[in-house]
Structures are given as structure tokens and as C-alpha cells.
Amino acid sequence: MISITNITKKFDEFVAVNNLTMSVKRGEVLGFLGPNGAGKSTTMKMITGFIKPTEGVIEVKGMNVETHPIECKKLIGYLPEGAPLYGDMTPINMLKFVAHIRGMTSKEFKKALDSVVVKTQITDVINQPIDTLSKGYKRRVGLAQALIHNPEILVLDEPTDGLDPNQKHHIRNLINKMGKEKAIIISTHILEEVDAVCSRACIIAKGKKIIDKKPTELKKIYKNNNLDNIFREITLSK
């Protein structure tokens, strides 16, 4: 579903992503990990077509993101870092706007709306201006707009950021369910999230891929150490 081959992204002399290769299949949830500045968000922006790689190729379901941008974006639901939203809109108007931009009919939108609102638990604030919402609710509205068109691929940058423990548990369960039929990439700083939802963990630092393995394999390699210590040991050794 997602194939990344030798991508590099430079901003002048700064190398944000360095010769990264990885892939994600349908039915996989890839935990994309690394310290601040590792290149996670930049990689996600390249996958979703918001910025172009300096070198390398990204394919979504066999299509090149650069030569088939619209076709690729139709397949992707993207929750960016910070979930930028139109603050003067209500969640329902925001979702209606996104659905319209994505070419959904009124009938398709109405059918999708009830399901997405329940999944993301935003029923209570559906008619409130987004600017008045808490960080957690804003994050869930951001997730709702990523899900409204029922995409085959999800690219989620810190999906549980700002949520309370119960909300995190709910969203992780939702990701687990969706992960059975979609291809999902999750960027996270919460390493317990890898154990909770991910079938693979790809760790990058300074733009380079350091390791790409199942969470259980990581624990075996690092003598059943917890993921916090694994992450620290890997990044400090590189």
C-alpha cells in the first residue's frame, strides 16, 4: 500500500530525511518512532504529497505520489501534527467542508458522518466553534476529518496527543480495529502505544532508519527491556 524507496529530503544544507526505505502493507500498523527532529513529520508530509522528496520515490498502491498526486491523496486520510483546523467552523461544518473537497456526495457524507462522530467521540461538541474546544477535542476533530472518506491508508501524526487516558484507550482500540483492513502509519512519542496498537516499529534518528522490527522482536533483542529503555539504548548508540 505504501512503498518508500531511498527518499532523502534536504532543506538547503540540512538533511531532514536520509536515504529512507520502508513499506507498509494492508493490515499493518507501523509505529514510526524517533526523537524530536528525527524526520518523522517530514516523511509523513512526503508520503501525503505535501512536500516533495529531494531524491527517491514514494508509491501509494503502486502509483507515484509525484506523478499521480490526486489519485494517491484520495486513498489517504491524514492527521497532521497539531491538526490545523478552521477555528471559526464547527466540527460538523468542518467535516462537511472536507467531504465536499474530497468529492463526496451529500448522501455519502450523511452516511459517513454518524459513524465517524461516534468513532471519534465528538458528538457533544459537534455544533461548537472549534476555537472553543479543548486540545483533546480538537485532536479528535482532526482525526474525524481524516476518517470521513473511509480511506484505505491512514497517516496519523501523534493521534493521541492531548487526550486523557480514557480517550487514548478508546482511540487505540479504534486504530486496532481499523488496522485489520487498512494500512496505517502512526508517529508517536508514547512508546507504550507501540505495544498497544503496532504490528511493526520503525525507529529513525537524524533522518536515518535505525531499526524496523516487530515490537516483540525488539524486546527479545534487548532482553525483554521495556520500550522506553530500548528506544533510549538504540538512539544513544547511533
Q: Is 19 left (phi over 0), alpha (psi -120 to 50) or beta?
A: left
Which value, in Å, is the radius of gyration of the alpha carbons in the chain?
18
pLDDT of 109-137, one tens digit each? 999 999 999 999 999 999 999 999 998 89
Residue 220 has pLDDT above 70, yes or no: yes
Q: How confident is the model at residue 96 (pLDDT cuts 50, 70, 90)?
A: very high
Give dist(CA 145, CA 187) in Å, integer.
18
Whole-Å CA distances, 63 to 77, 114, 165:
16, 32, 38
For residue 192, the 8-state DSSP code is H
Position 208 scores a pLDDT of 93
Comparing 228 with 200, the larger pLDDT belongs to 200
What residues pair up with 212 in beta bridges, in sequence order? 202
Question: Is the pLDDT score of 108 beyond 80?
Answer: yes
For the entire predicted model, the pTM comes to 0.90
Mode of pairing for the β-strands spanning 183-187 and 200-205 = unpaired
CATH match of 2-237 with 3.40.50.300: yes
- Domain boundaries, given as residue ranges, for the chain: 2-237
